[in-house]
């Protein structure tokens, strides 16, 4: 996926964390533009099963309590597999 423009968000009613860009399962995020997120618990770039971020001159800016530029998450499938192994 490519970003040439501006991705911008502000807090929602519950302040439960806004994600600017989500990359899943080996996808590549090429950032030529701006990602600006202002919210408590915000994430600029959230990725699952990938870490492919290519900065092409773009920016990721986050603000708010506990906000982070990048966060890694595990897919539901990964969590389910781990849970089954723990049961054995």
The pTM (predicted TM-score) of the whole model is 0.73
71 pLDDT tier (thresholds 50, 70, 90):
confident
For 68, the 3-state DSSP assignment is strand
Instruction: Report the run of H or E that residue 54 belongs to, with start and end.
Output: strand 52-55
Taking only the tens place, the pLDDT of each residue in 7-42 is: 998 777 877 778 888 888 888 889 999 999 998 888
Contact of 33 with 8, CB cutoff 8 Å: no
For the cut 90, the answer to whether the pLDDT of residue 1 exceeds it is no
């Amino acid at each position: 996926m490519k970003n040439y423009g501006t991705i911008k968000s502000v807090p929602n009613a519950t302040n439960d964390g806004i994600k600017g860009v989500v990359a899943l399962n080996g996808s590549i995020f090429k950032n030529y533009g701006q990602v600006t997120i202002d919210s408590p618990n915000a994430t600029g770039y959230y990725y699952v099963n990938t870490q492919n971020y290519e900065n092409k001159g773009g920016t990721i800016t986050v603000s708010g309590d506990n906000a982070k530029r990048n966060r890694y998450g595990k897919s539901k499938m990964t969590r389910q597999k781990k849970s089954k192994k723990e049961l054995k």
